Structure 1
Amino acid sequence: MKALRGKTLLNNPAQNKSTAFTREERAHYGLQGLLPYGVTDIHIQQQRVLANLRSKSSDIEKYIYLNGLLERNQRLFYRTLINHIAEIMPLVYTPTVGEACVKLSHIFRKPQGFYLTPEDRGHMLARLENWPETDVRIVVVTDGERILGLGDLGANGMGIPIGKISLYVACAGIAPSQCMPIMLDVGTNNQQLREDPLYLGYPHPRLTGEDYLSLVDEFVEAVQQRFPSAAIQFEDFSSQNAFTLLDRYAGSGRCFNDDIQGTAAVTLAGIYASSRITQKSFADLKIMLLGTGSAATGVAELLVPAFKAAGLSEAEAYSRVSFIDRRGLVTATHALIKPRIRSFVKNLPAADFVTAIATIQPDVLIGATGTAGAFTEAVVREISRYQQHPVIIALSNPTSHTECTAEQAYQWSEGRAIFASGSPFAPVTLHGRTYHPAQGNNVYIYPGIGLGVMVSRARLVIEDMFLAAAKELANCVSVEEIERGSIYPDIVRVRDISHKIAVRVCQVAQQNNLTKMETDLFNNLEASVRELMYEPSY
Structure 2
Amino acid sequence: DESLYGCIHTHGMAFTLQERQILGIHGLLPPKVETQDTQAMRFQNNLKKMTDPLEKYIYLMGIQERNERLFYRVLMEDIEELMPIVYTPTVGLACTQYGHIFRRPKGLFISIRDRGHVRSILDNWPESNVAAVVVTDGERILGLGDLGVYGMGIPVGKLCLYTACAGIRPERCLPVVIDVGTDNETLLHDPLYMGLYQKRDRSQAYDDLIDEFMEAVVEKYGQDTLIQFEDFGNHNAFRFLRKYREKYCTFNDDIQGTASVALAGLLAAQRAVGKPITEHRVLFLGAGEAALGIANLIVMAMTESGVSQDEAQNKIWMYDKYGLLVKVSNCQCEAFVHDSPGDVQSFLDAVNTIKPTAIIGVAGAGRLFTHDVIKAMGTLNERPIIFALSNPTNKAECTAEDAYKLTDGRCLFASGSPFGPVTLSDGRVLTPGQGNNAYIFPGVALAVIVSGVRHISDTVFLEAQLTDKELAEGRLYPPLSNIREVSVQMAVKVMEYVYAKGMAFRYPEPLDKNGFVRATVWNTQYDSFLPDTYDWPGVNFSPKTKSE
* C-alpha contact 1:328 1:350 (8 A) present in aligned 2: no
The match for 1:10 is 8
Structure 1 position 382 matched with structure 2 position 376: yes
| Cα deviation, residue 518, structure 1 | 2.3
1:26 is matched with: 20
Q: What do the CA deviations read for 1:481-513 (whole angstroms, capped 9, x no partner)? A: 21xxx2001001111111122112222222332
Q: Which residue of 1 aligns with 2:545?
A: none
Work out which of the residue numbers 266, 273, 277 in structure 2 matches 1:271: 266
Which amino acid letter does the alignment assign opposite residue 235 of structure 1? E
Q: How does 1:96-495 map to 2 (within 5 A)?
A: 96-228=90-222, 229-332=224-327, 337=329, 339-347=331-339, 348-351=341-344, 352-431=346-425, 432-470=427-465, 473-478=466-471, 480-482=472-474, 486-495=475-484
Contact 1:328 1:353 in 2 (8 A): yes
Name which of 507, 513, 520 aligns with 2:496: 507
Which residue is equivalent to 1:93?
87
Q: Is the 8 A contact 2:112 2:205 kept in 1?
A: no
SS in 2 for 1:129: helix
Q: CA deviation at 1:346?
A: 1.9
Report how far residue 5 of structure 1 moved.
Answer: 7.5
Distance 1:425 1:172 in 2: 24
Among 506, 510, 513, the alignment partner of 1:517 is 506
Question: What TM-score does the superposition give when structure 1 sets the normalisation length?
Answer: 0.95
Matched, 1:80 2:74: yes
Counterpart secondary structure, 2:485: helix
Q: Is the 8 A contact 2:250 2:456 kept in 1?
A: yes
Q: Distance in 2 between matches of 1:42 and 1:476?
A: 33
Alpha-carbon distance in structure 1 between the residues aligned to 2:286 and 2:203: 25
Q: Offset of 1:359 from its aligned partner? A: 2.1
Counterpart CA distance in 2 for 1:43 and 1:102 is: 34
Amino acid at match of 1:187: G
Contact 1:476 1:497 (8 Å CA) reproduced: no
Q: SS of the counterpart of 1:252?
A: coil
**1:323-353 Cα shifts (integer Å, max 9, x gaps):** 1122332112x7xx45321121121224132
Secondary structure of 2:461's aligned partner? helix
> 2:306 aligns to what SS in structure 1?
coil
SS at match of 1:152: coil
Letter in 1 for 2:508: T
Instruction: Provide the C-alpha distance between the structure 1 equivalents of 2:330 and 2:70, rounded to a whole number of angstroms.
Output: 47
Between the aligned partners of 2:469 and 2:99, the Cα distance in structure 1 is 40
Change (3 A) 1:338 1:264: farther
**Structure 1 SS opposite 2:515:** helix
Deviation sequence 1:388-425 (CA, Å, 0-9, x none): 11010111010011000000111221221111000000
The one-letter code matched in structure 2 to 1:142 is: T
Work out the CA distance in 2 between the residues paired with 1:247 and 1:508: 23
Q: How does 1:36-75 map to 2 (within 5 A)?
A: 36-75=30-69
Amino acid at match of 2:489: K
Q: Distance in 2 between matches of 1:395 and 1:72?
A: 34
Residue identity over aligned pairs, in percent, reads 44
Deviation at 1:22, TM superposition (A): 1.5
In structure 1, distance between residues paired with 2:194 and 2:262: 35
Amino acid at match of 1:466: F
CA separation in 1, counterparts of 2:247 and 2:483? 30
Structure 2 residue 523 is the aligned partner of structure 1 residue 535:
yes
Deviates most, 458-467 or 341-350? 341-350
* AA partner of residue 161 (structure 1): P
What TM-score, normalized to structure 2?
A: 0.93
Equivalent pair of 1:233/1:257 in contact (CA under 8 Å): yes
Indicate if the aligned counterparts of 1:4 and 1:29 stay in contact, CA closer than 8 A. Answer: no
C-alpha distance in 2 between matches for 1:475 and 1:178: 32
Which runs of no fewer than 5 residues in structure 2 stay unpaired? 527-548
Residues 398 and 338 from structure 1, CA distance in 2 versus in 1: closer, same or farther, beyond 3 angstroms?
farther
The CA distance in 1 between the partners of 2:66 and 2:525, in whole Å, is 15
CA-atom RMSD, angstroms?
1.5
C-alpha distance in 2, partners of 1:108/1:505? 38
Distance 2:396 2:94 in 1: 18
CA-to-aligned-CA distance 1:255-286 (integer Å, 9 cap, x gap)? 10000000000000000001111111122111
Aligned 8 A contact 2:400 2:432 in 1: yes
Number of aligned residue pairs: 522
**CA, structure 1 residues 411+536, in 2 after alignment: closer, same or farther (shift >3 Å)?**
same
CA distance in 2 between counterparts of 1:98 and 1:534 reads 27
1:44 Cα deviation from its structure 2 partner: 1.1
Contact 1:275 1:281 in 2 (8 A): yes
* Structure 1 contact 5–30 (Cα < 8 Å) conserved: no
Residue pair 1:146, 1:153 contacting (<8 A) in 2 also: yes
Checking the alignment, whether the CA contact within 8 Å between 1:270 and 1:474 is kept in structure 2 is: no
Bigger shift: residues 51-60 or 139-148: 51-60
CA deviation map 1:162-206 (0-9, x unaligned): 000111011011001100000001110011101111110111111
